[in-house]
Amino acid sequence: MTLEEKLGQLTQLVPDQPEFAPALEKGLVGSILNSGGVEQVNQMQRGLKVPLLVGYDVIHGYRTIFPIPLAIASSWDPQLAELSAGVAAKEARAAGIHWTFAPMVDIARDARWGRIAEGAGEDPVLGSAMAAAYVRGFQSNGVLACAKHYAAYGAAEAGRDYNTVEISERTLREIYLPPFRSAVDAGVATLMSAFESLNGVPASANHHLLTDILRKEWKFKGFVVGDWEAVAELIHHGIAASNQEAAKKAITAGVDMDMRDNSYSTLAAAVRKGELSPAVVDRAVRRVLRIKDQAGLLDHPTSNESDALSLDRDAARRVAQRSMVLLKNDNDLLPLPKSGRKIAVVGPLADSKHDMLGPWSAQGKAEECVTVREVIRDSVAVDDADVIIAVLGETREMSGEAASRASIDLPGDQEKFLESLVATGKPVVLVVMSGRPLAISWAAAHVPAIVQAWFLGTESGHALADVLFGDVNPSGKLPVTIPRATGQVPIYYNHLPTGRPPDPKDKYTSKYLDTEIGPLYPFGFGLTYTKFEYSDIRVTPQAASATIKNAGNREGEEIVQMYIGDPVASVSRPVKELKGFQRVALQPGESKRVEFTITRHDLEFWSDHGWIAEPGEFKVWIGPSSASGLEGTFQLH
């Protein structure tokens, strides 16, 4: 290949940008983002020396739209994440797509950040399990995965998208990097570098992230693509004065492919002037070609033009059923009886097909979505109802990229509307649809039943009805902390202790004057229609176990969680950290002993000398959430 052709392999363009057609004709483009379908892709591929890699944002479905990733994380079931990715991959591959820009594995502790919807929440252990599952689901069904946004993009200051990030190396290693490492260990083909600057160095020119950690420590063999125009944006970051200078810094740091801005085309002059080693270009080209070969593109550049796959409504419904979290159920208002009570289904999201899809809905079609009101066909007026189902929350445009919110309250006048429903004296079931946890303190105090439904996708209405009427016993748990007020964020369970722990009786302790201590609902919390009891915790340095009993009168599933804390160490450690979880199905009256293995890695933290575990006492909790459970201890010698 000529130098220009090599740089073409490192360039991703969009078919509708002016420079695309002439670049394609000259063989100076290696990848495209978005396409017009398999026939158009095949037409582009014919006659090319090296085939195009076709990428697309397949985030939570392609034609069949699954719940948003934050909702799927609420299932605490990596197999469901893998299932959803597998269905999406098959549909995307049938459309000529080779590569998805997913999973997003950014840890998010600030609900103001709109892209919290696209990830697995605030915890690195849960996030790592989900990251690996998505990679397996996509790549075992013919579509290359891309773990993004590397790294710490979810820590944007004040939750404002694209904003700067300042965190310690310890926080980076312990909180934000583990899901990326999990994706790499699962064999992810590509990573995407992030938009933000990390400790003053933009992620898309960050040698420490892209080479020292990713390549040298983790031995990653795939390639890194920059996010949309992230290379050119190095100029706005203030570390480059031109596209060529930005391109030199990005490719030298370890960004192998440039998305959309065509900056890498300027590198030919830099190489010829001796300002950039040809070996740097060749290294990136080898990485890209290796992945194209892995995808089978070099031998089979065109795709089968068979009929598109039909929607997999069954899979979408099954995943959605497990992606909801029952937050409150006073006096067992839920499940509702299937007959004998008149029901009013109200609220701006009760019949909004468009919003059911959630952000990043690929080729999903609103008209194919099923809403709550469609399923509960005999909905009556509020005045005539025995019970009210209020479907409130965010529109789909309120979360996702470039959708940060300064307030995470119910939007507009929805709380006033909810207050008017409660004032009728009739029982109200609040269904919250959103791409982030919302501060619903008034509702938590006044509404008897609350279901956090997120955005559930194509089968929203059916899945919700399955839960509301008891065909499915809800089992989801929160993958994020729900705050009492926006002013509490960022709020997360695995925080460091403070020298003045909050005490409502002592003014001079760490708390707010105008809201109660702690979250509204803690990480890991979620109710079911039955009751689970925990007993007999046993702890050794190698394992911990407890007995779980279904003490209710319905079969159900409990997500049993194990947390570990290091109360005395050479550095301040989080009050507790999730280290394991298991889903357990139990019949009424049935008990089961649940055991977790404890490894040395579970006890380690990042230090100036790498990962270390210090001797001393460790606390272990096994329970239904981060805020409750049985406690035991062991000594590490």
Q: Which pLDDT value is given to residue 35?
A: 79
- pLDDT at residue number 241: 98
Looking only at the bridges linking them, the beta strands covering 11-13 and 577-586 are unpaired
Q: Collapse the DSSP code of 267 into the 3-class scheme (helix H, G, I; strand E, B; otherwise coil) and give the result.
A: helix
Q: How many CA atoms lie within 13 A of 512 on its CB side?
A: 14
The average pLDDT across 164-192 equals 98
- pLDDT for 235: 98
Residue 307, pLDDT above cutoff 80:
no
The pLDDT, as a whole number, for residue 308 is: 77
pLDDT of residue 309: 87
**Contact indicator for 135, 103 with CB cutoff of 8 Å:** yes
Q: Pick the closest to residue 95 from 16, 157, 37 (CA basis).
A: 37
Output the pLDDT for position 252: 98
CB-side neighbour CA atoms (13 Å) of 69 = 33
Q: Which of 38-47, 100-109, 404-413 has the lowest mean pLDDT?
A: 38-47
pLDDT for the residue numbered 544:
98
Give 84's contacts (C-beta < 8 A, 6+ positions apart): 60, 61, 66, 67, 72, 137, 315, 316, 319
Give the separation between CA 349 and CA 607, rounded to whole angstroms. Answer: 48
Residues 442, 293: Cα–Cα separation, whole Å? 56
Does residue 227 carry a catalytic annotation?
A: yes
β-sheet bridge partners, residue 53: 31
In three-state secondary structure terms, 120 is coil
User: Can you give the pLDDT at residue 426?
Assistant: 98
pLDDT of residue 84: 98
Structure tokens at 621: 């909790």
Distance from C-alpha of 435 to C-alpha of 571, rounded to nearest angstrom: 35
- DSSP string of 146-199? EEEEETTGGG-GGG-TT--B---HHHIIIIISHHHHHHHHTT-SEEEE-SSEET
The pLDDT value given to residue 570: 97
Q: Which of 31, 574, 525, 529 is nearest to 262 (CA)?
A: 31
- 233-286, pLDDT tens digit by residue? 999 999 999 999 999 999 999 999 999 999 999 999 999 999 999 999 999 999
The arithmetic mean of pLDDT across residues 421-450, rounded, is 98
User: CB–CB of 126/559 below 8 Å?
Assistant: no
Which residues are CB-neighbours of 202 under 8 A, at least 6 positions away?
Answer: 196, 230, 233, 234, 237, 239
Q: Which domains does the chain have, with CATH numbers?
A: 57-275 (3.20.20.300), 313-474 (3.40.50.1700), 532-636 (2.60.40.10)
DSSP 452-487: E-----TTHHHHHHHHHTTSS------SSPBPSSGG
Helix segments in 68-174, DSSP class H: 69-73, 78-94, 124-139, 169-171
Share of the chain above pLDDT 90, in %: 98
- For 410-440, letters b (16+ CB in 10 Å) and e give bbeebbeebeebbeeeebbbbbbbbbbbbbb
Q: Is the pLDDT of residue 140 over 80?
A: yes
Is 147 within 8 Å of 105 (Cβ atoms)?
yes
pLDDT average, residue stretch 473-500: 98
Q: Are 33 and 285 in contact (CB under 8 A)?
A: no
Once rounded to an integer, what is the mean pLDDT over residues 361-379?
97
Please list, in sequence order, all residues whose beta carbon lies within 8 angstroms of the beta carbon of residue 237, skipping any fewer than 6 positions away.
197, 202, 205
Catalytic residue among 77, 106, 110, 227: 227
- Given a cut of 90, whether residue 306 has pLDDT beyond it is no
pLDDT at 145 (0 to 100): 99
Query: What's the pTM?
Result: 0.98
When pLDDT is averaged across residues 526-543 and rounded to a whole number, the result is 98
Copy the structure tokens of residue 626: 């981060």
